[in-house]
Amino acid sequence: MVLNGQSQGRCYNPSSALLAPLVTEEHSRRVIISVIGAGRPTADVALLAEQVGLELAKRGATVVCGGLGGVMEAVCRGSKLAGGTTIGILPWNDPADANPWVDIPICTGIGYARNVIVVKSGRAVIAVGGAFGTLSEIGHALGDHIPVIGLSTWQLSRDGDIDPSILVASDPADAVRQALQAANSRDTV
């Protein structure tokens, strides 16, 4: 587990009573937002991701991501700079693979099939930039009716027309606003 940048050498196991975090009323109401993007983004995309993390934390949201580098590291860093909580869904079995900004590394041992867990863990998804892994996560989210907000990411088309499934954000604050609004809409239905 990584707490405040310190590795504790084990992964969080939700079924383990010994490792279960204390749940306070404040934490039980926190919304979790998934943030996805490339492991090797451009510098401008990494900056967008860091700003998304900062905005999410300022609004009390918990970040869940793939837990590795690139966009995942940048969003976690931004969240931690604002005092937020971060969860990393790792593809393999070693918690040391998590970026230093992950509070709770969850080791899956299932490789990149963990992408499904990343998107299903959040009430909405923010895609920042992205490579083909990001595209697969967008597909899984949309297939399960999980709202996707795009910030400098993929654009989809069907029969030659732009598909409006990905809600386009103008900047990090707009992406977070739309994600929280979409998450809240899902919770009230």
How large is the average pLDDT for residues 88-97? 97
- Confidence class for position 29, pLDDT limits 50, 70, 90: low
Cα angle vertex 162, ends 121, 183, to 5°?
25
pLDDT in tens, 144-153: 999 999 999 9
pLDDT in tens, 103-136: 999 999 999 999 999 999 999 999 999 999 999 9
Where residue 147 sits, what CATH number does that domain have? 3.40.50.450
Q: Percent of the chain beyond pLDDT 90?
A: 81
Asked if residue 150 is part of any domain, the answer here is yes
Q: How many domains does the chain have?
A: 1
pLDDT at 40 over 90: yes
Phi and psi, residue 30, nearest 5°? -65, 135
Asked if residue 74 is part of any domain, the answer here is yes
- What single-letter amino acid sits at 95? P
Asked if residue 8 is part of any domain, the answer here is no
Q: Counting Cβ atoms within 10 Å, is residue 168 exposed (0-12), middle (13-18) or buried (19+)? A: middle
Asked if residue 10 is part of any domain, the answer here is no
State the Cα–Cα distance between residues 73 and 49, nearest whole angstrom: 9
- Confidence class for position 26, pLDDT limits 50, 70, 90: very low
How large is the average pLDDT for residues 57-65? 98
CB 57 within 8 A of CB 82: yes
Asked if residue 166 is part of any domain, the answer here is yes
What strand order describes the sheet that includes 86-90?
A: 104-107, 86-90, 62-65, 32-37, 125-128, 148-151, 166-168
Give me 52's structure tokens. 């998304």
Give the H or E element holding residue 189.
Answer: none
pLDDT of residue 11: 53
How large is the average pLDDT for residues 8-20? 45
pLDDT in tens, 94-103: 999 999 999 9
Asked if residue 15 is part of any domain, the answer here is no
HEC readout, 39-77: CCCCHHHHHHHHHHHHHHHHCCCEEEECCCCCHHHHHHH
- Confidence class for position 165, pLDDT limits 50, 70, 90: very high
CB atoms within 10 A of CB 160: 5
Asked if residue 101 is part of any domain, the answer here is yes
Read off the pTM.
0.86
pLDDT of residue 30: 85
Asked if residue 12 is part of any domain, the answer here is no
Give the H or E element holding residue 152.
Answer: none
- Residue range(s) defining the domain that contains residue 110: 27-188
